[in-house]
Amino acid sequence: MNPPNVSRPNVTPAQSGARMPVLFVGHGSPMNALVDNPYSATFAELGRSLPRPRAILAVSAHWFVGGTYLTGNPQPRTIHDFSGFPPALSEIEYRAPGSVDLAERVRRALGPERASLNTEWGLDHGTWTVLRFMFPEADIPVVQLSLDRRLDVRGHLTLARSLADLRHEGVLVLASGNITHNLRDAFTRMQTGSTETPPWATRFDSAVVRAVTQRDTEGLLRLWPDSDDGRLAHPSPDHFLPLLYAYGASDAQDSASFTSDTFDLGSLSMRNVLFAG
């Protein structure tokens, strides 16, 4: 299946030595991969506006495991890590090549004693549901990095800072999660027909905007699990942690800009954050 209503103009390749931007996306429901909506349209527009990367390092909320791994597959499989959706969603294949060389490069940057290659995983829906709109030709190598559930937020940020030099090598660091992600609340609102955004979601989303705009690292790290709003926004940290990887791969030379700053299902923030400078 091809992405609906997505055209692909010529995109300028990343110039040698120029820093690639860093991107955090709110990927939301897997159903966004099937429909032409404001979220998929924004992913397509981001793909058109970015320099064309040499390769992509994806950090997805949906590879949240007990270790730090990198996909070492020459041809990573498309993982349909969901259930209860239309069969057409499970028929989508995003056949981007992998890159063992990039996986090894990132493993060395993270520390060989802390990271290893994995050939059993592939590209989960936190990655491919976004990339099929950003780069629909699936001709850019993609490596996915796991989230180690054993690390605290500061540990994840330390790893993220090891990725910064990739930007000079034409690699797009693409982090995929959601700034607020309380599915129990979102599904309850869906069942009751309520689209009202709860105050805790608005406050947490705004606090993230302030922290990344002001480069307030300590303020960002305090948001989860040390705040009441943070624990409501993220009963589990898997969708928050990718933001730390985007933030950590950026620096004070970058400014943060935002797209899709709306909420889906009432409390699910679909905000995207682009770091560029």
CATH numbers and ranges of domains, the chain: 22-276 (3.40.830.10)
Q: What is the pLDDT of residues 49-107, one digit of tens each?
A: 999 999 999 999 999 999 999 999 999 999 999 988 999 999 999 999 999 999 999 99
Is residue 142 within 8 Å of residue 55, measured between CB atoms?
Answer: yes
Nearby residues of 92 by Cβ (< 8 Å), 6 or more positions away: 1, 33, 34, 78, 80, 128, 132
Q: Tokens 């060395």 belong to which residue?
A: 108
pLDDT of residue 145: 98
pLDDT of residue 14: 54
d(CA 114, CA 83): 32
Q: What is the pLDDT of residues 97-153, one digit of tens each?
A: 999 999 999 999 999 999 999 999 999 999 999 999 999 999 999 999 999 999 999
pLDDT of residue 142: 98
Residue 11 has pLDDT above 60, yes or no: no
Number of other residues whose CB lies within 10 A of the CB of residue 81: 14
pTM value is 0.93
Mean pLDDT of the chain: 94
Range 249-268 average pLDDT: 96
Is residue 61 within 8 Å of residue 24, measured between CB atoms?
Answer: no
Q: What is the pLDDT of residues 12-37, one digit of tens each?
A: 555 556 899 999 999 999 999 999 99
Nearby residues of 48 by Cβ (< 8 Å), 6 or more positions away: 8, 9, 11
Amino acid letter for position 241: L
**DSSP 3-state of 65:** strand
